[in-house]
Amino acid sequence: MNRFQGKHAVITGGATGMGYDIARRLGMEGASLSILDINEAALSDATQALRADGIAVNAYQVDVADPREVAETFSKLIADCSGTLDILINNAGIADFGTVETTEFDAWNKVMAVNLNGTYLCSKAALPAMKQRGGTIVNFGSIAGMVGIPNMAAYCTSKAAVIGLTKQMAVDYSKLGIRVNCICPGMIADTDMGREILGTDVSEQLMKLRLSKYPIGRFGKSEEIVAAVLFLASDEASFVCGSAFTVDGAMTAI
């Protein structure tokens, strides 16, 4: 398939993990890329690997939680791609563990700053260029924004806010030719974040309890989220707008 021929896609957190996989799949289907990441060494490795696959890519080191850095980065990348910004994937995100009582205020603020403010700031910086010829934004919500996950107070709250922001932006921008959706993954076992969350299960019993919430009988795989993100970003999803698109093995259906 060549669904993204002639399109330019921006992926935050694009140097590693699922962000890298999304970037690579978009590139393999014809998109040119801007990958953004806080990790400079990972950006350099990712850029080399993507170019070796014949993908046109520019890389930008940025902290998505920093308003000044985001504004400067987007003004540079928009100039570099001659203003043709078609797709924004707000993938950058972090997890944190704790109840409301045990979550320190600094940790709370950091999760909000990356997951929520980062999504807001990158969208704000991309929209003026995107409005010129239409486009699409895919945010990263989570089932954790729909149901409470034990010991993840800040993460759940940040993802619920991203779902709200997604719906709000869809209302303001759909009439301008910009579709905004969010993907809401369930537990994805083969990502750094998935491993981090599963690592909090101190016993076999806790792991079984987590798994028992998944009617499909297993956790998800990164490639299953990547495929859904590409669908949302593609013209095949032309009437999908303001959606919190669950990819969760029916975890939130029961």
Catalytic residues: 155
144 binds ligand 1HS (CB under 6 A): yes
Q: Which of 88, 89, 143, 226 binds ligand 1HS (CB under 6 A)?
A: 143
Cβ–Cβ < 8 Å for 232, 245: yes
Instruction: With residue 245 as reference, give the H or E element that holds it.
Output: strand 244-247
Which residue is listed with tokens 């490795």?
45
Distance CA 94, CA 16 (A): 13
Q: Given the complex with ligand 1HS, which of 50 and 251 has the nearer CB atom? A: 251
Cβ 135 to ligand 1HS, closest distance in Å? 25
Q: Which two tokens stand for residue 228?
A: 């859904």
Q: Which two tokens stand for residue 223?
A: 């490639």
Q: Given the complex with ligand 1HS, which of 144 and 229 has the nearer CB atom? A: 144
Cβ 101 to ligand 1HS, closest distance in Å? 20
244 binds ligand 1HS (CB under 6 A): no
Number of residues counted as binding ligand 1HS (CB under 6 A): 13
Residues in 193-232 that interact with ligand 1HS by CB under 6 A: 193-194, 197, 210, 213
- Identify each DSSP E strand in 83-125 by its residue range: 87-90
3-state secondary structure of 24: helix
3-state secondary structure of 60: strand
CA-nearest of 65, 183, 72, 186 to 115 is 65
Q: Given the complex with ligand 1HS, which of 57 and 187 has the nearer CB atom? A: 187
Specify the stretch interacting with ligand 1HS by CB under 6 A; choose among 21-29, 30-38, 130-138, 140-148.
Answer: 140-148
Cβ 223 to ligand 1HS, closest distance in Å? 15
Helix then strand count (H, E) for the chain reads 9, 7
Q: Which residues in this chain contact ligand 1HS in the complex, by CB under 6 A? A: 142-144, 149, 185-187, 193-194, 197, 210, 213, 251
